[in-house]
Structure 1
Amino acid sequence: MAVPFLSILALAVAVVHCYPAAFQELQPSSSKYANLRVSGGFVRPSVATRLFPAGNRSSIRFLAVGDWGGVPYPPYVTPVQKTTAREMSKVAEQMGADFVLALGDNFYFKGVNSVDSPRFQETFESVYTAKSLRVPWYVLAGNHDHAGNVKAQIEYSQRSDRWKFPSYYYELDFRIPNTGKTLSIIMLDTVMLCGNSLDYEDEKPRGPVLEVEANRQLVWLQERLARSKADFLLVAGHYPVWSISEHGPTECLLQGVRPLLVQHNVTAYFCGHDHNLQYLEELGVGYVVSGAGNFLDPDVRHKDHVPAGSLKFFTGQASTLGGFVHAEVTNDKMILTYFQAKGTSLFQTVLSRRQFK
């Protein structure tokens, strides 16, 4: 997608509705909540959502997993999904998890057709059953979800006490307990931005179905990034900006999103789409690929298509049995730990708090 920046700005006044970020602090009492900023072609008032009790600790902890969506035939789950879910529950119990970022491709292979789909039970509720995973799951849509009815997934938020998918794209604002520092996460719909990709063909997005909607989201993103004073600022989408694996870098995001990540000193970009675990760094931004929740792919065909020296970690080997990322955001740093489903950590890195001039 190549959209002239001036034409994007011309849409801003008409389509962007701005609210100042209202950071809420995690409390032991359930009376306090995190602020959820909602937008997706329309804007509703902020929606409150429950979070794991903060107690006396001084960090926010979460898991990030993508491409976790089972299969559309019995038993509706894969061995990788089951082992990954089991290890997620152990890590969440031992290291803590206030919420889960679900990075798209929530239901293979064609999403769901209605809010009454049995897949919600078969592939989600009946798989992630541990008490430690009974926390909010903040959801975004992937290309396989867009092959079905994404609105049905959004509607399911009204039926589940942990499925949080208020709109196609939205913002989360948290206050890190007992620190005075803040964390914001901007959840994108990269399929709306870039178009769907047809697996088993060239696997590249073909451009947005509705360019006006793509422009609207890009304007919204630019505005939210420009206004953010969060100490840690994350962006999440399904498609990768950088990846060395089968799908490779997403040209649309390289043109439209990457410059904004760099310009606004974003801490990290989280995604899935490629079915493995990767960590890359470029121009001060961390790129987290966590797409090993259901399948595994060791493909590295795009290893020469990322900036030299940017790749810091990669695994897609079947022997890992799956994988995910644990993040802990403290007063001055974000610690990322990559786990394989067979029970050990594989890689850890530390990202610093944003610095403002």
Structure 2
Amino acid sequence: MALTLMSTFLAAVSVASCYPAAFEDLGLGGKNRTSIKFLALGDWGGVPYPPYITAVQKATAGEMSVVAERMGADFVLALGDNFYYTGVNSVDSSRFKETFESVYTAKSLRIPWYVLAGNHDHAGNVKAQIDYSKKSDRWKFPSYYYELNFRIPNTGKTLSIIMLDTIMLCGNSDDFLDEQPRGPLRAVDANRQLIWLQDRLARSKADFLLVAGHYPVWSVSEHGPTKCLLQRLHPLLIKYKATAYLCGHDHNLQYIEESGIGYVVSGAGNFLDPDIRHWNHVPKGAVKFFTGEASTLGGFVHAEVSKKKMVVTFFQAKGTSLYRVVLPQRQFV
């Protein structure tokens, strides 16, 4: 038993060493900039039959381009379920063009897309999505889970984003049966990721620390809180004073605040769901914002991280902002 645990730990250290805390170069150095801006979009992955997109995806893509042009966006966080309903089968799949390249065509969206996998992606070949990073100049998916580090220009402050594979961590789920994740396919992979995550969180001195995954920690909608993440991730977010957790999975927009951490659900990129069956399954008073109405036509999040604060704005695809919240930088005292 001790030998097994040591082997797992050494494997985790080996994986961690593959992803050093290098800083991403967004080409902002020469500009008069004092913030980093990004969009967060989940569950955006079209449909597996012509025309391979939905009306919600098309409307949301259009408004994303407008917001990115008007407010600025340095990158996009793609929060999983990138290709409905069973991911892709190879790096040469036509879905990359039909559901991604041919939809998000605006110049303002020709920026890095940092990608993680959702449960529908895991129904196909996630490695093919990782390999597509070599074929696209904006698709950035280096590994199942990885860390991003940014210098906020002209401030001396930093932003770190830890991108998780919550399906590898917790197992897959059947959306049609409204199931909770059934446990990881390989416990050794789940434990390796968890050890890596704890190491990265413990080491982080970032002024703003975000964690992103597909499954929600807290959600009031159809899937509700993810029991596995409440057990394995939630205590770490609190212990290491994460700024926010971003996810998708439920097809709506939510902002929940608990223990000083912002929980952002941005899963309205392709479908909409007004379900609130789990409203009483989150801490009382924690829900600050929710919408899943069809009238919004879809939605996404814009975030701006500056010297002392992170401003998160929820947008609907029909052209207006719905909710805005300000999160402070981390305090280490």
Q: TM-score category by the smaller chain?
A: over 0.9
Q: Is the 8 A contact 2:9 2:192 kept in 1?
A: no
Q: Give CA deviations for 1:110-130 in whole Å, capped at 9, x if unaligned.
A: 000000000000000000000
Q: Is the 8 A contact 2:24 2:149 kept in 1?
A: no
In the TM superposition, 1:11-30 aligns within 5 A as: 13-17=9-13
* Equivalent residue number for residue 90 of structure 2: 114
* Equivalent residue number for residue 203 of structure 1: 179
C-alpha separation in 1, matches of 2:306 and 2:206:
13
Q: Give CA deviations for 1:143-173 in whole Å, capped at 9, x if unaligned.
A: 0000000000000000000000000000000
* Structure-2-length-normalised TM-score: 0.96
In the TM superposition, 1:124-163 aligns within 5 A as: 124-163=100-139
C-alpha separation in 2, matches of 1:155 and 1:12:
26
Q: Is the 8 A contact 1:241 1:254 kept in 2?
A: yes
Gaps of 5+ in 2: none
2:47 aligned with 1:51, yes or no? no
2:255 aligned with 1:279, yes or no? yes
Aligned residues: 331
Q: Give the AA of the match of 1:16.
A: A
2:160 aligned with 1:164, yes or no? no
C-alpha separation in 2, matches of 1:216 and 1:121:
33
**Structure with a larger share of its residues in helix:** 2
Q: CA deviation at 1:201?
A: 1.3
C-alpha separation in 2, matches of 1:7 and 1:320:
54
Stretches (4+) displaced over 6 A: 6-9, 45-48
In the TM superposition, 1:222-233 aligns within 5 A as: 222-233=198-209
* Equivalent residue number for residue 21 of structure 1: none
Q: Is the 8 A contact 2:23 2:149 kept in 1?
A: no
C-alpha separation in 1, matches of 2:28 and 2:80:
26
Q: Is the 8 A contact 1:9 1:219 kept in 2?
A: no
Q: Give the AA of the match of 2:240.
A: H
Three-state SS of the structure 2 residue aligned to 1:265 is coil
Decide which of 166, 189, 210 is 1:190's aligned counterpart. Answer: 166
Q: Give the AA of the match of 2:155.
A: T
* Structure-1-length-normalised TM-score: 0.89
Q: Give the AA of the match of 2:28.
A: P
C-alpha separation in 1, matches of 2:121 and 2:296:
26
Change (3 A) 1:336 1:8: farther
Q: Is the 8 A contact 1:8 1:215 kept in 2?
A: no
C-alpha separation in 2, matches of 1:235 and 1:328:
16
RMSD over equivalenced CA pairs, Å: 1.9
2:56 aligned with 1:84, yes or no? no
Q: Give CA deviations for 1:203-225 in whole Å, capped at 9, x if unaligned.
A: 21000000010000001000100
Three-state SS of the structure 2 residue aligned to 1:269 is strand
C-alpha separation in 2, matches of 1:178 and 1:165:
28
Three-state SS of the structure 1 residue aligned to 2:321 is strand
Change (3 A) 1:128 1:52: farther
Identical amino acids, percent of aligned pairs: 73
Q: CA deviation at 1:8?
A: 10
